[in-house]
Structure 1
Amino acid sequence: MRTISGLLIGLIGLLPAATLAASLSTSQRLELLERRVDRITELTLKLDAMERENRQLRGDIENLQYELQQLERKQRDLYLDIDQRLSGGQGGNQGGAMGPGTPPTNPTAPPPQTGGNYAAPQTPSSPSNADPSAIQAEYQAAYALLSPQQKRYREAAQAFTTFLQRYPNDDLAPNAQYWLGEAHYVSQNNREALAAFEQVVQRYPTSNKVPGALFKMGRLQQVLGRRSDAIESYRRVVRDHPNSSAAGLAQDQLKKLGG
């Protein structure tokens, strides 16, 4: 393989011949000089060719990195879309594997009861002066930003953050906290996503979004190189929520990790 160091050695190898020039005739010296020039020119051309190859390789690497980033983004977009479809409603069926699903067409309609351990709230946990329909509409507006049509993930994260600041005890707060994590996840803000999912588990331990949040915690902990923490998160899903769809996914990951 051609290397720059090899070319330099070739150039240095020409130097000892200069000591012979003093004993040669003028024509011989010219001939020797021409050969040296030809050799230097050849080496220079080879060096230029290698530099072009290196630039091409750097360009190819940059293109591959860009394509990989695009594939990762598409994969996360697809994952979010599947997550929304699997859940089949705000309350979700144990939150699906990950959490609540596509919002209803009427933004002021109450959350649908689609099975699982969802229970309609008997009394509102929002501030007494809050308009439930306004709260619902604000939640739906934030959730709509995550739709495949919009994909405005940063704005969605900000909207869910604002919602949680205003209504931390509302019945939709666990959903909002979960989708805040998803908004960060698809934006590849892994640490922020992990923190958001941890809040689902810590602040809303009875929510049906906890199994999905625990599973996503495990996935993010794997990405961040925290293998033992990931195994523990998966084990919690299987142990504490064995009937959830997230438990099956967690089992698969535990097999891969040998946990």
Structure 2
Amino acid sequence: MLAADRVGAQSGGDIDMRAIGNRLDRIEREITDLQRQSYSGGGSTGAPTSLSGSGSGSGAGAADAQSRIFELEEQVRRLNGNLEEMGHRIEQMGQELQRFKADTDLRFQDAQGGGGASASGTASDSAMAPVNDDGEAGTGPAPAEGTLGAAPVASVLPQGTPQVQYDFAIDLMKRGQYDQARAAFIEFLQLHPKDTLAGNAQYWLGETYYAQNRHKEAGDAFLTGYTTYSSSNKAPDSLLKLGMSLNALGNKDAACTVWSELGSRFPQASPAVVARNKLEREKAGC
């Protein structure tokens, strides 16, 4: 329940960040309009001197517009600060969620430890079994690392449509069961590489690595998401997280190049992605 609460809090943070991104977009458009009005009002140099009264009015209007621009720019700075703070809070919640998951897994292993060889054999037979209603899962070997062609140790996904199987994998992700979610997304991509949800699954595969600070594998998965599923609605997100993974690995120049590509390749990306891209570039000093 605690993990679900924290995930819910993180989802709320994402919603707040989208709202802030929308406000930033509106403010930037208003700044552009005011600048255009200011320049058009103050750029007429050929007016007769007898119209000085009109010129004064125009100058006053330009001054008002400039004052409004300063006010809006200050709002933009405050909103960017809010975005950075919320991003930090979300990262902290993710770390707390990982610690909670590790503690829960440890308790689960301790509880099984008293069962002797029989309990151990049962765990081995159901190495990659889906989580039960309590959010617990088998503790067998993890699947091969997240390349598209890697085969999971055992089937993770339930029977059903691609949507049912995708929802199952997402639920594992929400529970913080990153290893099991990773196996589920890999299996989904093997079974449905051309499905409309494949691009989303590839993105979340990368997130299973990123959530565990495995930035090299995360970068590989996000790069695949961008190149293989470039028409997916998660392609801009994949490119954003590719840059963040590269930056976390200390490759700032490559990260800045990726974020610049995001701005030019996906000018119509969601406000949340645009705002986060701008924030990450500023933080990295691109």
> Please, what TM-score do these two structures have when normalized by structure 2?
0.44
TM-score of the aligned structures, taking structure 1 as reference length: 0.48
